[in-house]
Amino acid sequence: MSDRARAVYVISVVAELAGVHPQTLRNYERTGLLNPQRTAGGSRRFSDEDLATLRRIQELTTEGVNLEGVKRILALEHEVAHLRAERDALLDAREAAVREAHRQYRRDLVPVQNAIALFVDETRRNRGAR
């Protein structure tokens, strides 16, 4: 688990950091916008990633997007990030395959001595001998 995903903040701290009421965070969780981790006792714990998501929610709602729209935008942004990562992995795999193919070509090359070889057509050779 990355440090950004480690859930360490209680709801009151996150509410204060974000400048919102704890009930707002509970509402965001209920609507599926936030998904804090839970302790064994059931208390919410938020991570830095949750804080970043909360800030993005605040940006979008400030621009006039309703919560359903925010939910859809966040899902699309997550999907775009996933697809970009997948594309990057495919590009890396393609480049590795090209490098491997080029290595194979280099191994298959056989050095040729710098010598001139003359090839004479048999019909010409026989005509010259008459």
pLDDT string in tens for the chain (130-residue length): 666 668 789 999 999 999 999 999 999 999 999 999 999 999 999 999 999 999 999 999 999 999 999 999 999 999 999 999 999 999 999 999 999 888 887 666 666 666 566 677 777 666 655 5
Question: Can you tell me the distance from the alpha carbon of 12 to that of 18, in angstroms, rounded to the nearest whole number?
Answer: 10
Instruction: Please give the CATH number for the structural domain made up of 3-108.
Output: 1.10.1660.10
Query: Looking at the whole model, is its pTM more than 0.75?
Result: no
Question: Can you tell me the distance from the alpha carbon of 62 to that of 65, in angstroms, rounded to the nearest whole number?
Answer: 7
Identify the DSSP state of 47: -
Say whether 20 sits in a helix, a strand or coil.
coil
Question: Can you tell me the distance from the alpha carbon of 7 to that of 110, in angstroms, rounded to the nearest whole number?
Answer: 60
